[in-house]
Amino acid sequence: MNAPAIAPALTAQDFKSDYKPVWCPGCGDYTVLASITRALAALQLRPEKVAVVSGIGCSSRIPAYTTCYGFHGVHGRALAAATGLKVARPDLTVLVAGGDGDGYSIGGNHFLHACRRNIDLTDIVMDNHVYGMTKGQPSPTTEPDWKSKLSPAGTGLREFHPLVIALAAGANFIARAFSGDPSGTAAVIGEAIRHPGFSFVEVLSPCVTFRPEQRAWKEAVHPASVAATDDPARAARRLMTDDGFNTGVLYKGTRPAYSAAAGKTTLHPADLEKDFAL
């Protein structure tokens, strides 16, 4: 009997590097890594045609765990670096990965403008509502009453709502996934990569070390009961009213992706000198 399908050139394993993650066993980020590699294999991309860009934080360690080209930059600036890379090299598939502190706090401004610019990037934020690498401080998505050494009485601040902000700022694809659902996460990431423009995937990814209670997220998450909408107004209402555990693709916009005004003409710099000649 013949094989039921043509063998893929590459499997998920081919996207995994031999450098082993330093994440705590139990961390949701392992699933996200597995989901990314699975999605890239399913999309039949080549590792050298994919770049994974990150900032600083536990989840931002992800580029080196793949066999893709990686860029592990400074805290909060992954989207900026990815923007430069994608505009300079539109032939590449560029993924941005990081955590809630990196993406929403120190990198908050870049998040807004990446959504607005709508460059063809996929931004995967592994949200565990805590700064893990610095040993457990509240992040923008931390609940107001969560107590820590830095905020013994809780922050008293309402949580940042990344999906609503992404929508308002102009993201073209908005999804929520849960790292306890590797299948769903892989599917969402694959779809995000395929969708043109800026695709934002928020992955609820528990921190078993500083937020062990997040293990209970697996009881709380539920798939979205309706299909993704392309109507921003409808999406806004849904996102504003959901319980934060609604997973799946929630918004798929139709805005055309940013295309840089790359010069088609290729004059030589010497040709510009005549502007200065007397």
Residues 253-272 that bind another protein (CB under 8 A): 260-272
What minimum distance in Å lies between the beta carbon of 39 and another protein?
Answer: 6
Helix (H, G, I), strand (E, B) or coil at 85: helix
Check residue 51 for interaction with another protein (CB under 8 A): yes
Q: Is the dihedral of CA 28, 33, 38, 39 positive or negative?
A: positive
Q: Are 73 and 57 in contact (CB under 8 A)?
A: no
Residues 150-179 that bind another protein (CB under 8 A): 179
Check residue 1 for interaction with another protein (CB under 8 A): yes
In which residue are the tokens 């995000």 written? 192
In which residue are the tokens 């005549």 written? 274
What minimum distance in Å lies between the beta carbon of 18 and another protein?
Answer: 9
The residue within the footprint of another protein, chosen from 147, 150, 213, 218 (CB under 8 A), is 218
Q: Count CB atoms within 10 A of the CB of residue 70.
A: 19
- For residues 75 to 114, the per-residue mask of contacts with another protein, x marking binding by CB under 8 A and - elsewhere, is -xx--xxxxxxxxxx-xx----------------xx-xx-
What minimum distance in Å lies between the beta carbon of 156 and another protein?
Answer: 25
Cα–Cα distance, 232 to 273 (Å, whole number): 48
Closer residue to another protein in complex, CB, 81/239? 81
Check residue 49 for interaction with another protein (CB under 8 A): yes
Residues 183-212 that bind another protein (CB under 8 A): 183-184, 186-187, 190-191, 194, 206, 208-210
Cα–Cα distance, 55 to 148 (Å, whole number): 24
Amino acid 18 reads D
- Written as one string, the DSSP assignment of 121-155 is -EEEEEE-SSBTTTTSB--TTS-TT---SSSTT--
What minimum distance in Å lies between the beta carbon of 223 and another protein?
Answer: 7
Q: Are 78 and 96 in contact (CB under 8 A)?
A: yes
Check residue 43 for interaction with another protein (CB under 8 A): yes
Closer residue to another protein in complex, CB, 53/239? 53
Closer residue to another protein in complex, CB, 66/155? 66
Which of these ranges, 138-146, 164-172, 217-225, 231-239, lies near another protein under the rule CB under 8 A?
217-225
First to last CA, the chain: 79
Check residue 72 for interaction with another protein (CB under 8 A): yes
Which of these ranges, 1-9, 139-147, 236-244, 249-257, lies near another protein under the rule CB under 8 A?
1-9
Buried b (16+ CB within 10 A) or exposed e, 129-151: bbbbbeebbbbbbbeeebebeeb
The residue within the footprint of another protein, chosen from 101, 130, 133, 192 (CB under 8 A), is 133
